[in-house]
Amino acid sequence: MKPGPLTARRAARRLGLAALLLGVAGATPLGAFDDPPTDWIDPDTGHRVIRISAEPGSQTLYFHDNAYTPDGDKYVFSSPSGIMVLDLATLGTSPPRPELAVPGGTGAYAARRTREIYFVKRQPGAPRGAGGQVFAYQVDTKQIRPVPNATRPLINADETFTVAPIVAEDPTGKTPRPPRRVARPQLERMFPGKTLAELTPEQRYAVTKEEGLARRALDPEPMAFVFTNLKTAKADTVGYQYGWLNHMQFNPKDPNLLLYCHEGTWHEVDRIWTIRTDGSEMTLRHRRSMDMEIAGHEFWSWDGRTIWYDLQTPRSQVFWIAGVDIATGQRTQYRVDRDAWSVHYNVSRDDSMFMGDGGDETQVSFAPNGRWINLFTVQRDSTLKREKLVNMAKHNYVTGQGGVEPNGSITPDRKWVIFTGNFQGARHVYAVSTAKAR
């Protein structure tokens, strides 16, 4: 019996997928089938890629938010239906079957010491971003408990504090307003001597974006932190300063240390700071040393000893993955080529590998060939060996134009990089093997 068209297409897909899984030469590229495959070998890199999510609109957590249980066996991501949990032990050996752990849950954050996931549950019908009650989900018992004194699912290492920034002036008057700085046109700062008409569309987009950031960054509001004790509900307002406070991250090991940033135009602010939960030891962790130098998208190492970040000396010209040891102040810098620069970097638990999610022509590097998921392995001579993992040529990076940042991470066993992609059309969560397919 001759198969009908539908049966033939299904057979072709199965045969093609089998060839991909076996690593057969001439792997079938994306788009060769009516339905995009869920498991294939990237023909440009030789690395195996698996689509983890089944529901369109799924995505990874923000790059510096913890998505792994302490033992490294479970991975957390979000979907339109709620919070998903994936068993990493089966990744690569059987089709992914992530569990819908918390229907309607958002803002997931995996605890550092316990096997709980903190999240927000919105009221039915409430718009996205409207906030809600904070809860904790235990991944083994599947029990959910309320966290009554939490204002957001950002919890410290021993799960005793949460934090939120507020607009507030120092009641003691000991925090004077710094001199107001006049914002220079960002076109002049970024592309001296050029007019808008001489720029590429991508460069014009970047100038417009920076103009909006500069107005607030150069004349900041007075702000402070509210640290709330989850057991007693005692809330302390500390850390009064003039700065646009953002990107708050508790240290993975020290429960009383917070990493945060002064948001804005990176080439005009000293961005990377830490503070203790009692308001002491407010410390600038990287001071810019030249005009147009930028340092940002900071994140903790797994052991909490190092702050890693994107460093450019100066902006858009010389690129590094940089780190500072918070105990000694010792600095580390790994050089990165323009096409290897990434919107976000992340690091393995032993600091031996970094991943980067690449970037398109609108990003700060203006890289002509930058759309790749990258793996960087630290070499004995303190350089990085770059390996391309996934071709992201069809991925839309621009969040203001319907795109999404990949926000990747390296699994605790260093075998996979998990990231968000929309290169198949809808937004999904993917894993790519750090080793080439055989």
Query: What digits encode the pLDDT tens for the residues 205-230?
Result: 888 888 888 877 778 899 999 999 99
Q: What is the DSSP string of 39-102?
A: EEE-TTT-EEEEE---STT-BPPPTTS--B-TTS-EEEEEETTEEEEEEGGGBTTB----EEEE
- Asked whether residue 16 is assigned to any structural domain, the reply reads no
Average pLDDT of the segment spanning 173-194: 87
Residue 123 lies in a domain: yes
Q: Which of 327, 287, 322 is nearest to 308 (CA)?
A: 322
- Closest of 68, 157, 60 to residue 411, by C-alpha: 68
**Both tokens assigned to 10:** 């299904």
> Does residue 50 sit within a domain?
no
Q: Are 169 and 294 within 8 A, CB to CB?
A: no
Per the CB < 8 A criterion, the answer to whether 411 and 68 are in contact is: yes
Residue closest to 274 by CA, chosen among 250, 292, 308: 250
* E strand spans, 88-234: 99-103, 105-110, 116-121, 133-138, 144-146, 161-167, 222-229
Is residue 28 scored above 60 in pLDDT? no
Q: What is the pTM of this model?
A: 0.89
Q: Over pLDDT 70: what percentage of the chain?
A: 90
Q: Report the DSSP beta bridge partners of residue 366.
A: none
The region of weakest confidence among 103-107, 121-125, 225-229, 383-387 is 121-125
Q: Which domain holds residue 151?
A: 67-87+95-111+114-156
Total count of domains within the chain? 1
Residue 72 falls within a domain, yes or no? yes
> Per the domain annotation, does 144 fall within a domain?
yes
Structural domain contains residue 195: no
- Residue 401 banded pLDDT, cuts 50, 70, 90: confident
Give residue 124's pLDDT band: very low, low, confident or very high (50, 70, 90).
low
Dihedral sign of CA atoms 96, 99, 105, 111 in order: negative
pLDDT at position 31 is 44
In-domain check, residue 149: yes
Predicted pLDDT of residue 409: 99
Q: Is residue 202 part of a domain?
A: no
Section 17-35 average pLDDT: 42
Computed on alpha carbons and rounded to an integer, the radius of gyration of the chain in Å comes to 23
